[in-house]
Amino acid sequence: MPASLWPQDRGAPHDSYFSAINAELRRNGPARPCLVIDLDRLDHNIALVRQVMGPGRSLRIVAKSLPSLALLDYVLLASGSSRLMAFHQPFLSEEARRFPQVDILLGKPMPVRAAAAFYDQLQGPFDAARQLQWLLDTPQRLAQYLTLAQERGLSMRINIELDVGLHRGGVAEEKVLADMLEMIERNPAHLTFGGFMGYEPHVAKLPRAFGTQVQLHEKVLQRYQDFMQVVSSSYPKLFHPGLTLNAGGSMSYRLYGEQPLINDISVGSAFLKPADFDLSLLAEHQPAMFIAAPVLKVLGGTRIPGADWIGKTAAWWNPNRRLTYFLYGGHWLARYESPRGLLEHPMMGYSTNQQFVNGSAATGLAPDDYVFLRPTQSEAVMLQFGAMVILRQGKIIDYWPVLGSSDPGPSLEYASQVQTTHREIASHA
Ligand SMILES: Cc1ncc(COP(=O)(O)O)c(C=O)c1O
C-alpha cells in the first residue's frame, strides 16, 4: 500500500505555553474542569480594540460574551469604557447593581414583563431613566413599554433596533420607524429617544461571492443613514448629538475606524477570541480563554467494548489512536487545542461525564495532566464551570465567579504566591 494512504501522526505534546499552564494547574489548580483566562493575552486584545476607538467613537462592552462581574470590571477599567450591552434580564439587574455609573444598552428586545421584573429588582443609585436604553423593535412592543411606563410613572429611554441587513429582527421599513418615533414624540413624560442599534455580523461572515467586507459594510452604513434621515427630517426634536448610534460586534468592529456616522461600537468576544472568531479581521487577536480538563485515565491503544478487534485495528492503522485518554467531563462547545491531534471515536461517542479521546504517542499525557480546548463561543460555555481560573504570566492569581453562579472558586491558599487583585492588575493594563 502506498505510504501516502497511511494516516499521518498529527500528535504533538503541549508546547511551552500549555506546558507551563499544565504544570501550574497540576500544582495549584482546582482539580476539575475549569475555564482559564489568560490576562496577558486579554490585555493584548484590549489594546487592539482601543486602537480602533478614536475621537467620536465609544466602546461598548458586550456583557453576554464576558459573563462575570469581575471580568466585566476588568475589561471596563482596562479599556476605558463606561458602556455595557446587556442581553439577559437577571444579569442586567446584577450589572446595574454592580456598575451604577455605566450606560447600559439592551442587545435584544425583551418581553415587557422582563422589563417590569428589572424595575421590581432595581436597587441602588443606578438611574434607569438616564442610564438604561431599552431596545425596541416594533410599534406593538413599544406600546406595551409605554403602558408599563404610564402604570409605574417611569421615564424610559428607547433605542430602536434597525434591520441593516442581518434580518434577525429590528425595524426594516421607514414607515414603521416613523410610527415608533411618533409614539415617542407624543409621550415625552414617559419615553425619550436614545438612538439606534444596527447589528451586522453578516458583513464578516458572508462568502465573498456576496461582495467584499467593505462593500457589504457600505450597504449597512447607507441603510443606517437612511433611517437617520427619517429622524432628522421628520422628527427634528428627537434628533440631537447625544444619540447613541450603535453598531458592530467583534466580527465587524475593525471596519468602523474611519466613518462619521456610528459613535458607539460593541465588542465582547474579541477580547477572549473563542474559536468561532478565527476570522481574517481578527488575525491579530489572541485566544485568551481555554477549557482545561484533567486526564483521569490513560490506556494504551483503543478499546471498543464488545468489538476489541475494531479498536485494535484502529490503533494499528492510525497512529493518532495509539493512546486513549478519559477526561474529567467533556462534550463542551469547544475544539481540542493542546496537545495536538486529539480526536474522538465515532463508536465511543460523547460523554459529559468522562469523555473518551484518542491521541498519538507523541501527545504523552499522564493522569492528572490537563487537556486544553478552545470554546467555540463564549457566553454559554463560560457559565458551565463555576469560578474562572485567572492567570497572569502562567500563574494562578485569582478566581472570578461567573454570573448566575454562587461558586466563588477555591480558596486562594491553593493559588500561587503571585496574588494581586484584578483592580490593581487592570490599572496597569
Ligand atoms: C446586538 C449585538 N451587538 C453586538 C454583538 C457582538 O457581540 P460579540 O462582540 O461578543 O460578538 C452581538 C452578538 O450577538 C449582538 O447580538
What backbone torsions phi and psi does residue 175 show, to the nearest 5 degrees? Answer: -65, -45
Domain end, chosen from 222, 240, 270, is at 270
The rounded distance, in Å, linking the Cα atoms of 91 and 103 is 15
What's the pLDDT at 426? 59
The rounded distance, in Å, linking the Cα atoms of 417 and 407 is 22
The reply to whether 252 and 112 lie within a common domain is: yes
Which ligand 1 atom is at minimum distance from the Cα of 251?
Answer: 11
* CB-neighbour burial class of residue 120 (10 A; exposed 0-12, middle 13-18, buried 19+): exposed
In a domain, 372, yes or no: yes
The reply to whether 120 and 231 lie within a common domain is: yes
In a domain, 429, yes or no: no
Full-model pTM:
0.94
Query: Considering its fold, how many domains does the chain have in total?
Result: 2
What's the pLDDT at 226? 97
In a domain, 275, yes or no: no
pLDDT digits (tens, 9 = 90+) for 350-371: 999 999 999 999 999 999 999 9
The reply to whether 222 and 321 lie within a common domain is: no
**Residue 63 sits in which domain range?**
41-270
Closest CA to 18 of 390, 371, 356, 283: 371
Q: Which grid coordinates belong to 246? A: 450603535
The reply to whether 221 and 290 lie within a common domain is: no
The reply to whether 264 and 295 lie within a common domain is: no
In a domain, 281, yes or no: no
Q: What one-character-per-residue DSSP string does 123-168 give?
A: -SS--HHHHEEEEE-SHHHHHHHHHHHHHHT--EEEEEEB-SS--S
Domain end, chosen from 270, 300, 329, is at 270
What's the pLDDT at 418? 45
Domain end, chosen from 270, 295, 310, is at 270
The reply to whether 164 and 227 lie within a common domain is: yes
What's the pLDDT at 417? 45
Which ligand 1 atom is at minimum distance from the Cα of 197?
Answer: 1
The reply to whether 99 and 130 lie within a common domain is: yes
53 Cα–ligand 1 center, Å: 17
What's the pLDDT at 208? 82
The reply to whether 256 and 295 lie within a common domain is: no
What's the pLDDT at 204? 86
The reply to whether 60 and 206 lie within a common domain is: yes
269 Cα–ligand 1 center, Å: 8
The rounded distance, in Å, linking the Cα atoms of 371 and 393 is 19
382 Cα–ligand 1 center, Å: 16
In a domain, 280, yes or no: no
Closest residue by Cα to atom 6, ligand 1, is 249
Out of 266, 272, 277, give the residue to mutate to test ligand 1, the one with the largest number of ligand atoms within 8 Å of its CB: 266
In a domain, 379, yes or no: yes
Positive or negative torsion for Cα 352, 353, 356, 359? positive
H helix or E strand, kind and range, residue 14: none
Out of 48, 49, 61, 62, give the residue to mutate to test ligand 1, the one with the largest number of ligand atoms within 8 Å of its CB: 62
The reply to whether 48 and 67 lie within a common domain is: yes
What's the pLDDT at 140? 98
The reply to whether 145 and 160 lie within a common domain is: yes
Q: Contact, 339 vs 363, CB < 8 A?
A: yes
- Which residues surround ligand 1 with Cβ inside 6 Å? 62, 65, 85, 107, 199, 249-250, 266-270
Out of 199, 205, 267, give the residue to mutate to test ligand 1, the one with the largest number of ligand atoms within 8 Å of its CB: 199
In a domain, 278, yes or no: no
What's the pLDDT at 54? 82
Closest residue by Cα to atom 4, ligand 1, is 249
Stretches where the chain sits below pLDDT 50 are 414-419
The reply to whether 239 and 372 lie within a common domain is: no
Amino acid letter at 53? M
What's the pLDDT at 424? 58
Which CATH number is 252's domain given?
3.20.20.10
Which CATH number is 31's domain given?
2.40.37.20
Which ligand 1 atom is at minimum distance from the Cα of 378?
Answer: 10
The rounded distance, in Å, linking the Cα atoms of 53 and 265 is 8
Closest residue by Cα to atom 11, ligand 1, is 250
What's the pLDDT at 423? 54
86 Cα–ligand 1 center, Å: 10
3 Cα–ligand 1 center, Å: 47
Which ligand 1 atom is at minimum distance from the Cα of 107?
Answer: 1
What is the distance of C-alpha 167 from the center of its chain? 21
Closest residue by Cα to atom 13, ligand 1, is 249
pLDDT digits (tens, 9 = 90+) for 192-244: 999 999 999 998 888 888 888 889 999 999 999 999 999 999 999 999 999 99
Q: What one-character-per-residue DSSP string does 306-360 give?
A: T-HHHHHHHHHH-GGGSEEEEESB---SEEEEESBT-B--TTT---SSB-EEEE-
In a domain, 318, yes or no: yes
